[in-house]
Structure 1
């Protein structure tokens, strides 16, 4: 049976999950450091997805997605390949000289310049020999490592915050899924994705799989989820009331079961927020803004083109940090499949009519 969550309940549970994951990561990082191995450092987690955007469908038990930042261990560097920002990239692991840093950060043999025999005897293997395939960081190996680390840290129960919960690691090839059960038997599902932050920006290369049937284990995908969340929170703060939130929540409910994803509607809304005055996003203009959303979507379907919000978009607020290469990039068409498949385009147009019918019916019975 599905639970119905109020907005406040969703927010409180999201905050609780985030605090538990932060505690868990502290325990994991402690285990990581005392092992004296050369594994990625675990940065703070970022809550991403609809459960943290505050517009999740209230009738569903959300999956609490957390993006965990990975940093290279000492003596290693992460390099994007190709060197341009793309939808999919590999992360090359390169060894760095540590000969001149030993006095400041402690003794360590240099993977590049100390004899191999001495390295084998006195030092744990480099990241290249543990979580990489060839020279590239392997998503599946990294997922298994993090799952083992979480299981070990959970078993030891080092932190008092975790003693009231039972954590169970679930199978997953490209993330770390954990079921959290409290003393009352209530459960929450957490999925920890992980990724490399692109410089100081709000964009990551993440372990999230692509839409392809098969994603190579050394392939990492561009993730703008944190940038999207920051953008929407900025818009929530700058719009006069909660009409924007209501629009997002209604659109999320209406697309369920259609050929459209909530991400498609969110992209439409984000484009409109940078092309229409924010003062117009208020309750008395609610129906007008919904009409704008549907008109924009229809236009995109007719033109078979919906641009990714962050590729080549010069209208992104300066508060959202995007790599310059991404802002200069050619626009990325999220509807490219409609160009290549006429049958898919016809189905999308039928899905649009169904979506419009649902929206009209919902507004009629809700008294708008």
Structure 2
């Protein structure tokens, strides 16, 4: 018994010592694939079987040579030894599996092998966070901000005023063409994103406008949130579906939906034929085929047709042309002046979630994130209105001339220039804003004085680097218990599990490598870029219009 336990312990200790991750040696390597791991586990199993056969042979010899009583006693001890051996063999296998799972989990984190097999693929992992970044002094940053950012966005107020006036006229024309008994009811637009949060830096200035719409009576939209249920797959959290229901067919308002009626009994409200969901123009126009849920592609087609008809109604009043900017985006529009200049803006069809400031949108005009909706009936849950309210509420508590928006503008400027040099990556302006919102919630108001611009910008970039290395950046509102209750978020959003915006990096190694490489390249170029633009502001040729599709 003691000898068997000693052998088991010896096997376990030997396995642990020889494990390449726990005690690495010069020529030791981590198994590169699962087949090698399986082969080693099979070899270990064969060794255990051979050891068991040897013990059985020793027991047989003992039975032949010793007295029956002694043999019976030792046989019982040997059976106990077998039981202990089986137990220790099981524990040994479990231990190997735990070590292997821990090794794989470690590789999924910061191990260079899982990211590309070569440390050179991640240029910033070998050093401390932002060790190579030396930001210019406050005077240079202030000069850069005044010359390149404040000057470039000085006409944002006039741009908003012009676009809003035109969109008001366009939506009014759209309403005049709609049949109130059959068509959607279009509400007033809502300005969101950087132009309405005062941190827009890219040229040309771009207005993002939500256009809420509701169905005609007796229909209504019934949103279904997917941010609080654990049964929802991770790739569908942050989305939802919108069911088109009839008020006169709502089972909650009639007993026929709760009771099984006999063949000779009819519901006086619904009748016999109405118990089956009827086919209507609204459902056929906007819902997926054979489904009561709104389809984003169907809504896109309806919205584009409606905008085209509305523009043709008022085109004679204006001395410019209106064109679609991108065919795969329902409300991407461009105003084309005769001088050759253009003014882009986005009209995004949206559906309000109950009585909150949450909106479901068919798309978001952001940088590539690596994930797409699993179905055309999946709608993106947008917190853009809440984000605007939070920034406005926080600004009131900060010192005059606070640097929080300046930090976001400078970081967004650097990211935009880097994207034009190396192409877009998985890191976008929305991630920068999310990082800033987290910092605003964790730091006191006095930390955002104008003189703290350099420190806060460095902290923002450090926060982004840490999030990239951990592949984890939580959504600011979903599952964040620190958000003030005065924001009025729905309870389902508070109770939800935190949503990781960097989840695509866990699943897509190539996207992650490109993003990390682009981020460190941006940090490397930042000092020279800021100094160069402080002295000279080059012409921005990236905003030249492409050939549009005229309505």
Q: TM-score, normalised by structure 2?
A: 0.56
Q: Matches of 1:146 and 1:306 in 2, distance apart?
A: 34
The unaligned stretches of length 5 or more in structure 2 are 1-149, 229-236, 250-268, 420-424, 536-551
Partner of 2:434: 267
Partner of 1:239: 398
For the structure 1 residues 26 and 115, does the alpha-carbon distance in structure 2 shift closer, same or farther, using more than 3 Å as the test?
farther
**1:253-285 per-position Cα deviation (integer Å, ceiling 9, x unaligned):** 111235321111111111000000122112211
Across the aligned residues of Structure 1 and Structure 2, the Cα RMSD in angstroms comes to 3.1
Partner of 1:249: 409
Q: Matches of 1:353 and 1:331 in 2, distance apart?
A: 27
Q: Matches of 2:516 and 2:284 in 1, distance apart?
A: 51
How far the C-alpha of 1:183 sits from its partner, in A, is 6.1
For the structure 1 residues 116 and 61, does the alpha-carbon distance in structure 2 shift closer, same or farther, using more than 3 Å as the test?
farther
How far the C-alpha of 1:132 sits from its partner, in A, is 1.5
For the structure 1 residues 26 and 318, does the alpha-carbon distance in structure 2 shift closer, same or farther, using more than 3 Å as the test?
farther
- 8 Å CA contact 2:321–2:337 kept in 1: the answer is yes
> Rg: which structure is higher?
2
- Aligned residue runs from structure 1 range 246-325, under 5 A: 246-256=406-416, 257-258=418-419, 259=425, 260-325=427-492
Q: Secondary structure at the match of 2:241?
A: strand
Higher helix share: 2
For the structure 1 residues 36 and 343, does the alpha-carbon distance in structure 2 shift closer, same or farther, using more than 3 Å as the test?
closer
Partner of 2:156: 10
Q: Matches of 1:179 and 1:319 in 2, distance apart?
A: 38
The answer on 1:172 being equivalent to 2:339 is no
Residue among 84, 89, 92 paired with 2:240? 89
Greater mean alpha carbon deviation, residues 317-326 or residues 245-254: 317-326
The answer on 1:28 being equivalent to 2:174 is yes
- 8 Å CA contact 1:139–1:174 kept in 2: the answer is no
How far the C-alpha of 1:363 sits from its partner, in A, is 5.2
Residue among 324, 335, 340 paired with 2:502? 335
Q: Secondary structure at the match of 2:312?
A: helix
Count of residues paired in the alignment = 341
**1:194-229 per-position Cα deviation (integer Å, ceiling 9, x unaligned):** 111112222211010685457633221111222222
- 8 Å CA contact 1:44–1:68 kept in 2: the answer is yes
Q: Matches of 2:284 and 2:247 in 1, distance apart?
A: 15
How far the C-alpha of 1:345 sits from its partner, in A, is 4.4
Q: Secondary structure at the match of 1:274?
A: helix
Partner of 2:196: 52
The unaligned stretches of length 5 or more in structure 1 are 99-111, 118-123
- 8 Å CA contact 1:46–1:66 kept in 2: the answer is yes
The answer on 1:150 being equivalent to 2:310 is no
For the structure 1 residues 302 and 183, does the alpha-carbon distance in structure 2 shift closer, same or farther, using more than 3 Å as the test?
closer
Q: Matches of 1:84 and 1:339 in 2, distance apart?
A: 20
The answer on 1:136 being equivalent to 2:293 is yes
For the structure 1 residues 10 and 319, does the alpha-carbon distance in structure 2 shift closer, same or farther, using more than 3 Å as the test?
farther
Higher strand share: 1
Residue among 318, 322, 329 paired with 1:163? 318
How far the C-alpha of 1:153 sits from its partner, in A, is 2.1
**1:1-37 per-position Cα deviation (integer Å, ceiling 9, x unaligned):** xxx97323022102221221122112212221xx244
Residue among 29, 45, 65 paired with 2:208? 65
Report 1 or 2 for greater relative contact order, CA contacts < 8 Å, sequence distance ≥ 6. Answer: 2
